[in-house]
């Protein structure tokens, strides 16, 4: 698994703070930018519930070598743009798949897992040799098959994404990806993402009876 922040809004904290402050000022954001305190301003405005101001900040990631099981979850976050490696136009000649930790930690289970994957890829290759197009041969491929995806979200949607996917109850693979995305976001926008993470970082857990009872700060 690899996560790389490809592009982001430069000086996002300051831009979002200026945009928010301009709603309450006679001065435009271009002038406010020069002397604003992003931390104090954003804390006040976002604390009042005005989260729309951080939508001005946009972040684009390349997420590589993850499973289709992960991307099926990822694309459920609707306020985002996704471009995923196609199994229709990209022929997957070599077996590439993600092995869950519970499987890799059990030698017997891992042997069975890898034998099954090898059999799937062998059948996939045979279908292509028979002239079956990749778009039809791909019906054999499992959720564990690796893929690459490019993702763009604004900061507001990222905060929601992190609240859901950095949680201890999130599926392990997407939680690892979310943790790494958050780490990279904090490097370039420390104010916006200072308190980002699962809901328990900021208050009570919304999981109710299903709560793990262990607040987690990524």
Annotated catalytic residue within 165, 169, 175, 194: 165
DSSP-assigned letter for residue 32: H
Residue 32 CA: distances (Å) to CA of 22, 109, 165, 173, 182: 7, 60, 35, 42, 28
**What span, in angstroms and rounded, lies between the C-alpha atoms of 189 and 175?**
20
Using alpha carbons only, give the angle 128, 71, 108 rounded to the nearest 5 degrees. 70
Q: What are phi and psi for residue 185, nearest 5 degrees?
A: -65, -40
- CA dist list (Å): 183 to 56, 90, 122, 178: 20, 31, 39, 9
Q: State the first-to-last Cα distance of the chain, in angstroms, to the nearest integer.
A: 18
| Residue 216 falls in the annotated catalytic set | no
Helix (H) / strand (E) containing 148: strand 146-154
The residues assigned a catalytic role are 165
């Amino acid at each position: 698994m690899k996560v790389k922040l490809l592009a982001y809004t430069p000086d996002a904290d300051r831009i979002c703070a200026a945009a928010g402050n301009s709603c309450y000022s006679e001065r435009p954001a271009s002038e406010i930018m020069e002397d604003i305190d992003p931390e104090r301003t954003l804390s006040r405005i976002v604390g009042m519930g005005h989260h729309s101001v951080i939508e001005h900040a946009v972040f684009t990631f390349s997420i590589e070598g993850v499973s289709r099981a992960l991307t099926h979850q990822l694309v459920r976050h609707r306020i985002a743009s996704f471009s995923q490696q196609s199994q229709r136009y990209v022929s997957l000649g070599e077996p590439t798949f993600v092995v869950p930790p519970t499987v890799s930690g059990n030698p017997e289970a891992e042997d069975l897992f890898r034998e099954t994957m090898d059999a799937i890829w062998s059948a996939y290759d045979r279908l292509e040799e028979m002239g079956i197009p990749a778009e039809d041969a791909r019906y054999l491929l499992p959720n564990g098959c690796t893929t690459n995806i490019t993702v763009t979200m604004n900061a507001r949607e990222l905060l929601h994404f992190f609240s859901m996917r950095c949680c201890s109850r999130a599926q392990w693979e997407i939680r690892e990806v979310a943790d790494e995305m958050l780490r990279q976001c904090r490097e370039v926008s420390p104010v916006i993402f200072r308190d980002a993470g699962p809901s328990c970082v900021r208050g009570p857990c919304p999981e109710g009876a299903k709560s793990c009872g262990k607040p987690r700060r990524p």
